[in-house]
Structures are given as C-alpha cells and as structure tokens.
Structure 1
Amino acid sequence: MSPIILKRIQRLLHRRELRYPFTLMAVLFGMILIFASVFSVFEENATFADGLWTAYITVTTIGYGDYSADTLAGRGVTVLTSLFGIGCFAVFTGIIVEKALQRRMRKMKGEGSYTGDGHLVIVNVPSYDQTQDLLKELDLSPDFSDLSRVVVASALPDNDKEIPDMLATEVDGFIMGLPSTVETLKRAN
C-alpha cells in the first residue's frame, strides 16, 4: 500500500466517530478469515475459497446451504460466526440509524449549513402560518416556484427549539442564527 493511502486511513481512524465501525469491520474480516481457515481444515474436500464463501454466507445470515459443516468443530465455528454476524449487522444498522437521526436533528434545530446555490433565503419566521402562506405564494410564482428555499431565523415562534415537521418538509434548509451576522449568512450560503 502506498504511504499516502496509509496516512489517509490513519487519519480516518483518529476520527472518533469512525474508530468503532472500522474496528468492528476489522474484527468481522478477521472472523471471516478464521472461519474460512477452520472450515477448510476440518471439513472434507473443502478449499479455503469454499471456507470464505461459507463464512460470508454465514456472517450475513443468508445461509444458502450449498456448503455446510459436517464436523463438530465446523458446526461450532458456524454457530459462533452466525451469532457474531447477527450482532455485527445489528451494530452497523444502529450506527447508520443514529447518524441519520443526528443529521435530521441538526437540520430541525438549524445547526447545519446549506451547500446549494441559486436559492432563495427567507429571513425570520414571524409565525408558522405566515411562513407557510409565503411559501404557497412562492409556489404560485413562475419566477420563484422552482427555487430552493432556506429559512434563516434567530428565533422561532412560541420559543420552539426546532422547526416543526410541517415547515421542514416545505423548505430545503433551516439555519438558526442571527440573520445580520456574516457567519449565519455563510451557513445559508
């Protein structure tokens, strides 16, 4: 491997949120190699490639059944690999769902940034009804109906901390911050 690729991997591993998934993937890969080795040694007429295939099918819990363990050692490793595979996929699913929820919460709280261009910036939300009326008017306008919309507000009605779903689905971005500051406007792009 080239030194540049190794440095990039090393930098990625230093990121706290990626360390756990990378470790889990490394352990999963190691488990597949161990399974393949044990399967090819203890099972009659099984090659290492057969072991890799069976390990993959077992870890992913697909279970085609074209290869299966006949010996006690092979069956034991198959059971452990199946349990570990189920656990790994549950953890991976949890990580993905957690990241999606965090991203949604950041959007709802206006903590993110909008990266698109050619959009319309709507400053402040006097009331949700008035903002929805404005969005309906924009939908009817041939000049503005196709433009993305980003709402920038320093506060929401009723001291809400998050933009409500009814409004979040109508706009492409929400930025919480003082509209008169450069930092907030940069986040609105």
Structure 2
Amino acid sequence: MGHRLYVLFLRLPVMGRILFLAITLIIVFGIMIHLIEPKSFPSIFDGIWWAIITSSTVGYGDFYPATHAGRIVAVALILIGAGVLSAYFVSLAAATVTNQNAYLEGKIAFKGRRHMIIVGWNERSREVINQATHLDEESSIILIDETLSENPYTDKRVHFIKGKPYMDETLLKANIQHAKFALITADQSKNEGEADMYSILTLLAIKGIQQNVYCVIEILKGEQIPNARRAGADEVIQTNKQTSYVMINSLLEKGMSATVLSMLNQLKGGNLTFIPVPSEMIGKTFQSVNSQLLKERKLLIGIKVGEETKLNPPLTLSLNGTEQLLVICD
C-alpha cells in the first residue's frame, strides 16, 4: 500500500508534489504544537493556523510557543516549511512564465468552439484578421503558421498555433472538430504549383477530420481549381484571376481599383452580400424587386442561380424564389 502511494506521489507534477509536501508539513506541525502546548494552542485548527502563518513568514503573533520544546518545533517549521513554501511559489511563477511563453510560441491547444481558422501568415491573412476582429467582437480566430516564432497579435481573440497545417497534430491543437470556418491562404514564398499543392493537402487534412467545416481556399493556378473542388472546397478564390480583373478595369476605367476595394471593404461601409428573394417578391420582375429594395437602402446589382452569377440581368426577368440577390447595402 505504501509503495503504491509513493508511486502515485512520484507521478504527480512537480508543483503538485511540492504543494502536497507543504500541506502535509503544515498539518503535522500544527498537530505537534497543539500536543506540545495545548494551553497556547487550544485546538488543532489553532495549531494549523499558526503553522501556516509561521511557514509563510507572516507572523501575526496571535499564537506563539511558550516552552522550549514548542520553540524548537517552531524553528524546525521555519527552516523546513518556509523552504518548501518558497519552492512552491517559485515553481508556480516559473510554470506561469513557461505557460505564457508556450502560448505566445503557439504550443498551447485551443479549447473553444465556433471559431475561424486561418492558415498561413501573410498580408492577406493579416487584413482578414483585422477586419474579422473589428466586425465580430466575440468569435475567436486561430492562426496556423509554421514560420512565425510567436503570435503577431496581442488580441486575446487571436490564438496562434505553430506547426504544419496539413498535419493532424496541428489541426487538433486548433480544435478543428469544433471550428466554424477555415480559410487556407496560398504560401507565396513557394512557386505557384507547390503553393497550390500544399493548400490542397491542407484542405484534405481538414476535411478528413471535420467534413462540415466551411472551407475557403486560395488557389493561384486555374488548373488546380478542379482538384480543390474534389478535395472538398466549399469556395475557391483564384487570387491571380481576381487581381488581373481589377488591373484590366483600372486600365480601362481609371480609379476603378480604389472603387472596387472600397465596395468590398467591410470596415469602411462596403457591404456586398447575397440575400434570399423575399417571399412577397417571388414572381415579380427584377426591376420591381430593385425598386422595392431601393426603399430599404439596398442596391440590387445581380442574381445568383446555382453557381452562376448574373450581373445586371434583363429588367423584365421574373424571379421564382430560387435565386439569391446580389445587393450592396448599409
């Protein structure tokens, strides 16, 4: 029995063992002083109280030994107990610092739910995090990256996980099982083919653990879009094509790039979004629906049917309720 207790004691963490020793010493010396000087320490509780105060070097003076035997016990308690308690508080401080450093270095697992996971640290992910933290003050964001040495954000809502995003160990630390969204950005330090390969590999790893996470993936080469779809991407962003569209529009219409960015910037009032067709507007024409939405300060610019988006469709087009309306609103 004694051996088993000893083994269990050794299995405790260092802080647990020191705390156990400190509590044991306080109880033992409290009982001893009560037995040696029952007049000065009428109860065991008074003895334990004195042992706590003495070992912590506070020394209130409400209880004190009057005999030589009692004072010898007090000296022993000061020499032994104070050392044990000091070791405990030093270990506690060291553990706190170690834990804080581990958190900053991305070694601590995330335990929350309904969070957003962003893979890769770059200017695009930085801007996404900046906008997300301003638009949603409650949700947590998990940043996964293997190149950062520590969390680039002081905001407690941004939790950093250091590691390869396509490894199960890293994704489980990010609590992918309970994530709501995942955004996979392309690593532009690699060539386009390698970047897309790693992005799709990360997508496969995420979907392999949690199929229901809504995954948005950034793809650089158009030929890899079918592979991203097969891997389970819910949405594919082809960065190069989008950038080229903005560039050609800027060449044809000067200042168009700033206008497009302004329209998409959520923090500056831009709100380009899809809304369902209101039930009372089913069967009406695009023109009449647009007129009604304008009264609600919503500008209708197109519709989405399945995967196809039609901008500025014919005004006489009748809406049957299966479409999504592309609007700009406050």
Specify if TM > 0.5: yes
Secondary structure in structure 2 of the residue aligned to 1:121:
strand
Secondary structure in structure 2 of the residue aligned to 1:79:
helix
Please list every run of 5 or more consecutive structure 1 residues that lacks an aligned counterpart in the other structure.
Answer: none
Aligned partners of 2:133 and 2:37: how far apart in 1? 68
Whether 1:137 and 2:131 are equivalent positions in the alignment is yes
Contact 2:145 2:162 in 1 (8 A): yes
Q: Over aligned residue pairs, what C-alpha RMSD do you find?
A: 3.2
The structure whose Rg is larger is 2
Aligned partners of 1:53 and 1:99: how far apart in 2? 27
Q: Over residues 8-55 of structure 1, what are the superposed CA-to-partner deviations in whole Å (9 max), with x where a residue is unaligned? A: x7775343634x642563365245424532453256564452433432
Contact 1:122 1:152 in 2 (8 A): yes
Aligned partners of 1:150 and 1:76: how far apart in 2? 57
Aligned partners of 2:133 and 2:18: how far apart in 1? 48
Whether 1:40 and 2:32 are equivalent positions in the alignment is no
1:6-155 alignment runs, 5 A limit:
12-15=8-11, 17-18=13-14, 21-22=16-17, 25-26=20-21, 28-30=23-25, 32-34=27-29, 36-38=31-33, 40-42=35-37, 46-47=41-42, 49=44, 50-126=46-122, 131-141=125-135, 144-155=136-147
Secondary structure in structure 1 of the residue aligned to 2:13:
helix
Q: CA deviation at 1:121?
A: 0.7
Give the number of the structure whose residues are more often strand, by fraction.
2
Greater relative CO (CA pairs within 8 A, separation 6+)? 1
Aligned partners of 1:31 and 1:186: how far apart in 2? 42
Taking structure 1 as reference, are residues 40 and 181 closer, same or farther at Cα in structure 2, changes over 3 Å only? closer
- Using structure 2 for the length normalisation, give the TM-score: 0.44
Taking structure 1 as reference, are residues 184 and 96 closer, same or farther at Cα in structure 2, changes over 3 Å only? same
Aligned partners of 2:7 and 2:154: how far apart in 1? 35
Please list every run of 5 or more consecutive structure 2 residues that lacks an aligned counterpart in the other structure.
Answer: 176-330
Secondary structure in structure 1 of the residue aligned to 2:81:
helix
The amino acid that maps onto 1:139 is T
Contact 2:120 2:143 in 1 (8 A): yes
Aligned partners of 1:52 and 1:146: how far apart in 2? 46
Moved more, 178-187 or 42-51: 42-51
- The alignment covers a number of residue pairs equal to 173
